[in-house]
């Protein structure tokens, strides 16, 4: 036995009879649904699913306790079943009004593929969060946000917050090809300048995102802060670009190098609270835990 709860903001959630007596829930008239009316069975329910590419899925999950308390840069840990692996996933967006969080997942292994197989109306066993250290948001001046691949998803809420804080935001993002690109409009909406790259030139500029960053520096652009999220090698190369000696007279004239740079580390995590030590990394001379000091 199932019922459908319809709402333009929340989408569609299927409540199954094994979750309780579904007949007790009444479908609300249009525009009268509120979070307070939601049955407990809706918690952790997927209310919207969008296929962004063949392997990348966007999920909106109904979880008001997390949506009401999360900040840009934080993440959740998802379990699909009792015996399933605990998967850390960045909160790519959230709506306090709707009580939802958005996650973007690329199928690369057994666990991520299992998560992406869930459909609208299905529920995760549990979500833990918000976890991690929220991003530091302030008015730096000119901020460049560099993202690669699915790194676009976690950088989006941070970029939006930086823009709202009054920064001049330069957004540089890309992927291997145009089929793996997503959220171009959303990223452009919270940026003053947008540069899109693909490795094969099928969309935007051909080349790496770090090539664009290097060009801006060589042109003498004043860049006060840099944020980079994506594959490890991309973040490493971003740091190399922002810390090296200036290569042109224009770059030397600005005196902006080295540029303070923040990256987000995707390490192995188990509990997400710093107890297991699986996410331990060395930053300079210090030991940090990505789950509590970062990501």
Domains in the chain with CATH codes: 2-131 (2.40.30.10), 142-263 (3.40.50.80), 266-295 (no CATH)
| Per-residue confidence (pLDDT) for residue 228, from 0 to 100 | 97
Is residue 185 over pLDDT 50?
yes
Q: Are 146 and 102 in contact (CB under 8 A)?
A: no
Neighbour count for residue 149 (Cβ, 10 Å): 18
Give the residue-averaged pLDDT of 196-222. Answer: 95
Strand 193-198 to strand 45-51: parallel, antiparallel, or no bridges (unpaired)? unpaired
> Could you tell me the pLDDT band of residue 215, with boundaries at 50, 70 and 90?
very high
Task: Using a pLDDT cut of 90, give the percent of the chain over it.
Answer: 64
The single-letter DSSP state of residue 123 is: B
Q: Is the peptide bond before 229 cis (omega within 30 degrees of 0)?
A: no
| Per-residue confidence (pLDDT) for residue 37, from 0 to 100 | 62
| Per-residue confidence (pLDDT) for residue 159, from 0 to 100 | 98
| Per-residue confidence (pLDDT) for residue 47, from 0 to 100 | 95
**Span between the terminal Cα atoms of the chain, in Å:** 42
Alpha helix (H) ranges present in the chain? 64-67, 110-116, 152-164, 184-189, 209-218, 232-243, 249-254, 290-293
Say which residue the tokens 């593929």 belong to: 113
Q: Are 181 and 203 in contact (CB under 8 A)?
A: yes
State both tokens at 119. Answer: 């459909």
| Per-residue confidence (pLDDT) for residue 174, from 0 to 100 | 96
Q: Report angle CA 228, 194, 155 to the nearest 5 degrees.
A: 30
Alpha helix (H) ranges present in 77-208? 110-116, 152-164, 184-189
State both tokens at 179. Answer: 């089929």
C-alpha 183/C-alpha 221 separation (Å) is 26
119-123, 178-182, 225-229, 276-280: least confidently modelled range: 276-280
Average pLDDT, the chain: 85
Closest CA to 104 of 44, 160, 151: 151
Q: How far is CA 135 from CA 14, 53, 75, 132, 161, in A?
A: 35, 28, 11, 9, 9
Give the residue-averaged pLDDT of 33-44. Answer: 70
Q: What is the pLDDT of residues 60-90, one digit of tens each?
A: 999 999 999 999 999 999 998 888 888 899 9
Give the residue-averaged pLDDT of 51-67. Answer: 95
Q: Are 53 and 180 in contact (CB under 8 A)?
A: yes
Full-model pTM: 0.84
Neighbour count for residue 40 (Cβ, 10 Å): 8
Q: What is the pLDDT of residues 234-249, one digit of tens each?
A: 999 999 999 988 888 8
> Could you tell me the pLDDT band of residue 216, with boundaries at 50, 70 and 90?
very high
Q: Collapsing DSSP states into helix, strand and coil, what is residue 66?
A: helix
């Amino acid at each position: 036995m199932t019922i459908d709860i319809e709402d333009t903001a929340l989408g569609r959630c299927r409540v199954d009879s094994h979750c309780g007596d579904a007949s007790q829930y009444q479908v609300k008239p249009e525009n009268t649904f509120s979070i307070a009316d939601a049955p407990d069975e809706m918690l952790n329910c997927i209310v919207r699913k969008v296929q962004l590419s063949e392997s990348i899925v966007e999920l909106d999950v109904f979880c008001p306790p997390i949506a009401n308390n999360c900040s840009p840069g934080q993440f959740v840990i998802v379990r699909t079943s009792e015996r399933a692996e605990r998967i850390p996933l960045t909160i790519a967006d959230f709506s306090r009004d709707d009580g939802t969080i958005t996650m973007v997942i690329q199928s690369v292994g057994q666990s991520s593929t299992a998560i992406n197989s869930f459909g609208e109306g299905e529920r995760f066993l549990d979500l833990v969060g918000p976890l991690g250290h929220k991003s530091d948001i302030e008015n730096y001046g000119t901020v460049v946000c560099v993202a690669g691949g699915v790194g676009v998803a976690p950088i989006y809420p941070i970029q939006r917050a930086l823009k709202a804080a009054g920064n001049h935001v330069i957004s540089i993002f890309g992927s291997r090809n145009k089929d793996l690109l997503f959220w171009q409009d959303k990223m452009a909406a919270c940026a003053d300048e947008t540069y899109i790259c693909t490795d094969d030139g099928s969309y935007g500029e051909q080349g790496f995102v770090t090539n664009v960053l290097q060009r801006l520096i060589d042109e003498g652009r004043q860049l006060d802060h840099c944020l980079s999220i994506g594959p490890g090698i991309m973040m490493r190369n971003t740091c190399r670009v922002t810390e090296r000696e200036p290569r042109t007279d224009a770059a030397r004239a600005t005196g902006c190098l080295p540029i303070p740079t923040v990256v987000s580390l995707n390490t192995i995590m188990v509990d997400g609270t710093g107890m297991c030590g699986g996410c331990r990394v060395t930053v300079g001379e210090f030991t940090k835990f990505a789950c509590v000091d970062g990501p």
